[in-house]
Amino acid sequence: MAADAAAKRRLAQPTSTDDQMRRVDFCVLFERAARELDVATALAYILARRHGLTTEVVQQYQARATIFRRIRPDVVILPYAYHERYNNHYLMRWRRATFFNLTWEQLFYPGVAAAKSPHGEFALRHVIHHAWSDAYADLLRASGVPEPHIFISGQPAYALYQEPYRRYFKSRSQIAQESGLDPARRWVFLPENYNWAFYDDAMLAELRRSGQPAAQVAAMREVVTTSFEAAMRWCAALARRSDVELIIRPRPTTSPERFRMRVEEVVGTLPPRIFITVRDTVRDWVLASDVVISSYSTSLIEAAVAGRPSFILEPVPWPESLHSEWHALLPHLRSEEEMVAAVVTPPEDGDSPLARWARSALMSRGDPIVRIADELARIRAGSVPLPEPPPWWSVTPEARFGIPPRLLYELRRRFPTSLWPPFRRVDPMLVGDVAAAQGVPERVRRWGPILDEYLASVAASPAAEGSSHFVSGSAGPPSDARPRSLDRG
């Protein structure tokens, strides 16, 4: 016990205020805290506790101003890697690291599939891609990703609804006290995903530039806007009931103020039992609620995995470009009366067709969080095939104004505009995500009491068994010796 306590004290910290350049094993870049940070901090804890490896978890936009002077990672973990334009400064400055793509978006409807498939030299040849399922691995292969650069593990966020991970989240009584909700009422949670109704012209132009047909983009904008307005009228009627609390959580890219304004344009003054919030995570609300409703949001899959009755709102028929195979596994509510009846007296949904599909297609290989941590340890050890470092031209965006590509590469690498004070302003839509980065050390620490006993029961990974670099269960810092395969200068 004393030795174990000492080991815990030696856990590598994921962040540091030390200005001296440090070499770390992993740097996890996250975009949206609500979607990614629970898994990122669990990975950081498991990598330290199970493999003795160091991890820095940073918000990808905010960190650019200081991180290149602070750390030098051996492995960079990206939230997505569709092409070289995303996270471009990291690709240039850390070009000789190994890149691992967590790929946070994999369940596509046809309307975004082209835009969110990997393309370009960097994404296809110089990244290890994490796949939740065989279906996504097939998409990667069809896109041209080599087989050795595909790792199939399952959806890590769905593991958070299972023991022991679900103990990490708030209880219903705690949320009720903090939010002023009545725990005796039926809680109906709507994780909003009417994204096309809120996209601006610049976002629509980016989707067309990424390969989506213009007619398809226009059709989806129209049908989603119509669906949003009808669904909000239904929600206003539901929230006038005395036995319901309706919680609506806008998408991360839509502020609560903007969302509320749009809803009021449709229904007028909001009923008092509509609670619009971005406080707490989708996972907190799914676990605390009685029923989950949404449009085509994959949060409905999370609700099914958590054992919550879940329904699709479909006020108007969707075009084929919005359909996904899993939509057929849920009841579709096509009128206000159907919605009210379904959420007030829902069927028991502990083992719904959608939950069975999710477990079979996306959760069949064991604990995906531990599996990802173990694979990252193997990557760090150099015991799996690694992509070659990307050539400079593969991470250089398209040049404008006739600037030679090599000159542009050197200018952006040596004098990145995002590091200049005028460009350090935080996007208002990312303020919460940037603030969440400050809490990473505490989030990592909170995993200890939840995961320690569980990790002790999990068999040692192949990396731990087959490499002297790792000791299963060790929480000490890694050896200073670096595997030759990762020592890229």
The pLDDT tens digits along the chain (489 residues) read: 444 444 443 454 444 444 568 999 999 999 999 899 999 999 999 999 999 999 999 999 888 878 888 999 999 999 998 877 777 788 888 999 999 999 998 987 666 666 678 888 989 999 999 999 999 999 999 999 999 999 999 999 999 999 999 999 999 999 999 999 999 999 999 999 888 888 888 888 887 887 778 888 888 888 889 999 999 999 999 999 999 999 999 987 788 898 999 999 999 999 999 999 988 999 999 999 999 999 888 999 999 999 999 999 999 988 877 788 899 999 999 999 999 999 888 666 558 999 999 999 999 999 999 999 999 999 999 999 999 999 888 888 777 778 888 888 888 777 765 555 555 666 677 788 888 999 999 999 999 999 999 999 998 765 444 332 222 222 233 333 333 345 443
CA-to-CA distance for 9 and 20, rounded, in angstroms? 22
pLDDT value of position 320: 78
Q: Which two tokens stand for residue 256?
A: 């609560």
Helix then strand then coil, % of the chain, to nearest 5:
50, 10, 40
pLDDT value of position 42: 98
Q: Are 408 and 397 in contact (CB under 8 A)?
A: yes
What type of residue sits at position 339?
A: M
Q: Are 67 and 95 in contact (CB under 8 A)?
A: no
The DSSP-derived string for 137-206 is HHHHHHHT--GGGEEE---HHHHTTSTTGGGGSPPHHHHHHHHT--TTSEEEEEE---GGGT--HHHHHH
Q: Which two tokens stand for residue 358?
A: 């999710």
Q: Is the link from the previous residue into 191 a cis peptide, with omega within 30 of 0?
A: no
CA-to-CA distance for 59 and 438, rounded, in angstroms? 9
pLDDT value of position 482: 35
Q: Which two tokens stand for residue 336?
A: 């206000």
The DSSP-derived string for 263-287 is HHHHHSSPPTTEEE--SS-HHHHHH
CA-to-CA distance for 442 and 36, rounded, in angstroms? 16
pLDDT value of position 413: 76
Q: Quick one: CA dihedral 401, 407, 409, 410, positive or negative?
A: negative
pLDDT value of position 419: 57
Q: What is the pTM of this model?
A: 0.83
pLDDT value of position 208: 83
Alpha-carbon distance values, 411 to 89, 404, 415 (Å): 11, 11, 5
User: CB 74: neighbour CB atoms within 10 A?
Assistant: 25
340 closest CA partner among 275, 306, 293, 300: 293
| Block residue for tokens 């030098």 | 72
CA-to-CA distance for 313 and 315, rounded, in angstroms? 6
Helix (H/G/I), strand (E/B), else coil: 25: strand
pLDDT value of position 285: 97
pLDDT value of position 112: 63
Helix (H/G/I), strand (E/B), else coil: 481: coil
Q: Quick one: CA dihedral 169, 440, 38, 44, positive or negative?
A: negative
Report how far Cα 336 is from the mean position of its chain's Cα atoms: 32
DSSP symbol at 210: T
DSSP symbol at 474: B
Structural domains for the chain: 2-154+365-486 (3.40.50), 170-361 (3.40.50.2000)
Alpha-carbon distance values, 21 to 16, 30, 94, 196 (Å): 11, 21, 13, 43
| Block residue for tokens 């006038």 | 240
The DSSP-derived string for 287-340 is HH-SEEEESS-THHHHHHHTT--EEEE-SSPPPGGG--GGGGGSPEE-SHHHHH
Q: Which two tokens stand for residue 221?
A: 């904008």
CA-to-CA distance for 26 and 98, rounded, in angstroms? 10
Neighbouring residues of 315: CB distance < 8 A, sequence distance ≥ 6: 226, 227, 230, 231, 234, 334, 335
CA-to-CA distance for 460 and 471, rounded, in angstroms? 9
Q: Which two tokens stand for residue 54?
A: 């160091």
Tell me the Ramachandran region of residue 307: left when phi exceeds 0, alpha when psi lies from -120 to 50, beta otherwise. left
Radius of gyration of the chain (CA): 23
Q: Are 430 and 61 in contact (CB under 8 A)?
A: yes
